[in-house]
Amino acid sequence: RLVMAVIRTINDLERIGDEAKRVAKMVREELDGTLDEDIRQEIEHMGGQVREMLRQVLDAFARTDVRAAVAVARADKKVDVKYHALSRQLITHMAQDYHNIPMVLDVLWAARALERMGDRCQNIAEYVIYLVMGKDVRHSSLEAVLDELAEREARQVREQAERERAASAGPE
């Protein structure tokens, strides 16, 4: 499981790098001030969310922390909502002034790249869950993962208590 998780994570990290390059290119080209401030703030906020997801998922991978991985998967839903809202805003912007269509399309592609980066972070979170629990969670709920994790932890606590009780009783 470790080898599979590492190989898949490396692939997703490479794709994240490709998407980051695309966003950086757009930012460099759009620094001339043609971008509305509200749209700029939305893109920056979305970028901050994705950056934090990446930091959290890499930390979760390093610590094999399922709870942190689940939190990252949940955060991706917020990035998706932000992307769809920003897309609607950008489409409205294009409809209002057709001269801005090329610039707005660039911003839309950058927003899409950020959304894909969030999806890749979610993928890595799923690999963490697979690594720790041996469970493919692409088609199951995150709550079910947390429930199973809680059951495992409770079972481990009971088993540890039984071992300590047996050790304290000593040989008879």
Residue 13 corresponds to which amino acid? Answer: L
pLDDT in 10s for each residue of the chain, 172 residues = 899 999 999 999 999 999 999 888 877 766 556 667 788 888 889 999 999 999 999 999 999 998 899 999 989 999 999 999 999 988 888 888 888 788 888 889 999 999 999 999 999 999 999 998 887 887 777 777 777 877 877 888 888 888 888 888 766 5
DSSP state at residue 99: G
DSSP state at residue 98: G
